[in-house]
Amino acid sequence: MRINRLLVTTSFLVLGATGAPAIAQDFETAEEAEAIENEMIVIGRRAYRGDFEPLETPNADQILDEDLLRDSNALDLNQALDLSASVARQNNFGGLWNSFSVRGFQGDINLPSGFLLNGFNAGRGFGGPRDISGIEAVEVLKGPRSALYGRGEPGGTINLITKRPQFETSGYVQFQGGAFDFYRGDIDLQTTLSDNVGVRIAGFYEDAGSFRETVETERFGIYPSITARLGENTLATYELEYTDQEIPFDRGVVFSEEFGFSPIRTFTGEPGDGPIETEVLGHQFELQHDFSDSWSLLAGVGYRETELIGNASENNFAGRQTFFIDGQTISRFFRFRDFDSEYFVARAELAGEFNTGPFRHRLLFGADYDRFENSLFILRFRPPFIPDGTAVSDLDPATYLFLDAFNPVYGQFPIPTPGPNTDREEVLEGFGIYIQDQIDITDRLQIRIGGRFDDFEQDLTNLRADPVTTITTNDDRFSPQVGAVYKVDDGVSLYASYGEGFRQQTGSTFEGNQFAPNVTDSFEFGVKADLAAYLDNVQGIVTLTAFQVDQSNILVNDDSPEATAAGFFSIDAGEARSRGIEFDVNLAFDSGFNFFLSYAYTDAEFQTTQPDADFGALIEAGDPLINSPENQLSILVSQDFDVSNVPVTIGGRMLHVGERLGFTGFDFFLPDYTIFGLFGEIEIADGFTIRGDIDNLFDETYFTNSFADVWVQPGAPTTARVSARFSF
């Protein structure tokens, strides 16, 4: 059945519902085919996807399905994305949000990375790191996709597919426990209220310690959904997202060339600051109507509120950092944050196919509207610069909030009184229309053309100004895409594509003007192979891709005398390029052996010489982009078998991340690392499974990401977990 699950995931989750007759032939019985057909009718299609087989898609997209996520022991989005070698971890804001780059490029380093939830923008805002609970699959859509999705991250788009009702009664309850006082419970339950109404509820509760001393987190999330058949050809689905998290703000460790890294177990914040509290409440409603076998309409609205509030003591930078003087004493500053956001989106999309003479067209046409309101309020206390030649013993410990890195004593100093730092409100509003047509020129050759027009407006209000000022700006942009696919035979296709992308940038120049969008141009070509066309004992796709992505209008520091005198401002000036090769394999064999491999070589570097936007250091042409390794490799293998008619699975995983720059504009690199993991599970009774996981098997000391040499995130040492799951 694992092979069948892989086939269903590949055929449906990646491509959208393609119709039962094309899939039924791959199943052993008519009953099994009918069950799959019914499941697909319930789920419906996904926005922006169309009706395409893997070999027809002119992009190197990657699908991380539920089985793969479970085998990898991924509990949050960062861990899930470690499976894709095209994705690299970026500065995660002290553990408070998801931040990643795709093909070397990230978005705004001062905001969470954008991702989609069933096509709705959900990465914006401050709801904390996204848990995997309630997620059916994670799509890594490589390359800029503004021709369909609109404003997005420059290197690619991450789309989360949620668990929706399947019109059946099933589910599971799972409990986990492990090292560092880790405890977690998960549920995924579904049933029907009638023949035409299905309900599902997924959720989790987690109470966990950490290898970082004094760091404890408490997290809760619940994700109910309901789907109703409103007629033979109409489906309506409502989903709710609620997550509440309490997470201490943790900037990680400090590095000095003379003294090395501070101990990875020492939390450099203050437990007395309390945790940062985050909350998200989101709603999604979708309506799908099939006019015929060839044409359908998908419309929906989404609304999402997020909030982040709390205190944090954070490691100082050079000039105020005493660890660089004695290799023992860490100095800190203090901030209070109160962030909140509201996001509304509405969309409608028509999809279908028709013929013009000998040419078959598969068309997507849609429009959407979104409004994002973002409020940032920050108070800050920061000590003065340390005069040259000053010894640590000459400084006031309370002023610099000292902490001994090797023998920390917390609570020595009262919480300082912070002063004004940021008080800003921003409203981003946009409307877009898009069209995509994939045309069958011959039985083997297809071309894809499309584009999107966006019109957006920004209102930026500085509440610290006297008087309060509001700047309103407008802009518009057209983003094209073209692609071609040539099927060599039933099992191999060649493809090439070009696309443009853009991302609105927050803030303004010193003169009060809106920044131009961050623009990307991407070209890729590759080959895909469906091994099932050649081998009877395996299912799965192999993809080899070469790509180039160019990015312009990167924000850099405005070092003009007027801007420097007034404070901190940026200008549009930087350019960067990313080139690379990707190799992705996801195979399931009849023998029960499953093999997943993702490798990426990424050469991402600046193309212009410029001052750094954050520190004014000089970035030279040819300098690498931060947290972007040249080589990254992820491998996961598992074997399913029976022992005395008892199902057993054993497996292992490996992640290699190469050396990468850890501080833009400076000569600080994070070392490469390779970590291994093992897992195994046994179904000791019908529906009752026991599982064990060991991560970082050889206790490697490693660092996952950084923003600077004083904000470096360490990885966990050897960690063991045990779980029990009851399924029905």
Of 337-351, 454-468, 494-508, the one with minimum mean pLDDT is: 494-508
In a domain, 87, yes or no: yes
With a CB cutoff of 8 Å and minimum separation 6, the contacts of 358 are none
Whole-angstrom distance, CA of residue 686 vs CA of residue 671 = 46
In a domain, 34, yes or no: no
Asked if residue 398 lies in contact with residue 411, where contact means CB atoms within 8 angstroms, the answer is no
Q: What is the tens place of the pLDDT at every residue in 85-107?
A: 999 999 999 999 999 999 999 87
Is the pLDDT confidence value at 134 over 50? yes
Burial per residue of 49-65, b for 16 or more beta-carbon CB atoms within 10 angstroms, e otherwise: bbbbbbbbbbbbbbbbb
- CATH code for the domain of 207: 2.40.170.20
Whole-angstrom distance, CA of residue 450 vs CA of residue 498 = 11
In a domain, 3, yes or no: no
Mean pLDDT over residues 690-695, rounded? 98
In a domain, 27, yes or no: no
pLDDT at position 611, please?
Answer: 76
pLDDT at position 415, please?
Answer: 93
Q: CA distances (Å), 646 to each of 1, 683, 725, in order?
A: 15, 6, 15
DSSP 8-state class, residue 306: E
Mean pLDDT over residues 302-313, rounded? 96
| Model confidence band, residue 353 (pLDDT cutoffs 50, 70, 90) | very high
Mean pLDDT over residues 435-457, rounded? 94
Is residue 112 exposed (0-12), middle (13-18) or buried (19+ Cβ within 10 Å)? buried
In a domain, 17, yes or no: no
Is the pLDDT confidence value at 29 over 50? no
Read off the pTM. Answer: 0.90
In 667-710, DSSP assigns E strands to 669-670, 673-685, 688-695, 703-708
Q: CA Rg, the chain, in Å?
A: 26
Total domain count for the chain?
A: 1
Q: What is the tens place of the pLDDT at every residue in 419-434?
A: 999 999 999 999 999 9
CB atoms closer than 10 angstroms to residue 683: 17
Q: Is 285 left (phi over 0), alpha (psi -120 to 50) or beta?
A: beta
Q: What is the tens place of the pLDDT at every residue in 173-218?
A: 999 999 999 999 999 999 999 999 999 999 999 999 999 999 999 9
In a domain, 436, yes or no: yes
pLDDT at position 589, please?
Answer: 97
Mean pLDDT over residues 522-546, rounded? 95
Q: What is the tens place of the pLDDT at every residue in 241-278?
A: 999 999 999 999 999 999 999 999 999 999 999 999 99
DSSP 8-state class, residue 262: P
pLDDT at position 683, please?
Answer: 96
DSSP for 121-176 reads E-SSS---SPBSTTEEEEEEEES--HHHH-S--SSEEEEEEEP---SS-EEEEEEE
pLDDT at position 507, please?
Answer: 67
Q: Three-class SS of residue 466?
A: coil
Domain that holds residue 303: 44-727
With a CB cutoff of 8 Å and minimum separation 6, the contacts of 568 are none
Mean pLDDT over residues 62-72, rounded? 94
Is the pLDDT confidence value at 25 over 70? no
Of 386-400, 497-511, 529-543, 686-700, the one with minimum mean pLDDT is: 497-511
Q: What is the tens place of the pLDDT at every residue in 622-653?
A: 999 999 999 999 999 999 999 999 999 999 99
**Which of residues 265 and 514 earns the better pLDDT score?**
265
Share of the chain above pLDDT 70, in %: 89
Asked if residue 327 lies in contact with residue 402, where contact means CB atoms within 8 angstroms, the answer is no
In a domain, 716, yes or no: yes
Asked if residue 411 lies in contact with residue 271, where contact means CB atoms within 8 angstroms, the answer is yes
In a domain, 2, yes or no: no
Q: What is the tens place of the pLDDT at every residue in 549-598?
A: 999 887 766 656 665 555 556 777 689 999 999 999 999 999 999 999 99
Is the pLDDT confidence value at 5 over 70? no
Whole-angstrom distance, CA of residue 146 vs CA of residue 152 = 6
Q: Are strands 419-440 and 445-462 parallel, antiparallel or unpaired?
A: antiparallel
pLDDT at position 567, please?
Answer: 52
Mean pLDDT over residues 357-374, rounded? 94
Q: Which two tokens stand for residue 604?
A: 């991402």
CB atoms closer than 10 angstroms to residue 7: 18
User: Number of H helices and number of E strands within the chain?
Assistant: 9, 39
Mean pLDDT over residues 664-678, rounded? 95
Is residue 631 exposed (0-12), middle (13-18) or buried (19+ Cβ within 10 Å)? middle
**Which of residues 299 and 46 earns the better pLDDT score?**
299
Is residue 130 exposed (0-12), middle (13-18) or buried (19+ Cβ within 10 Å)? buried
What is the overall mean pLDDT for the chain? 89
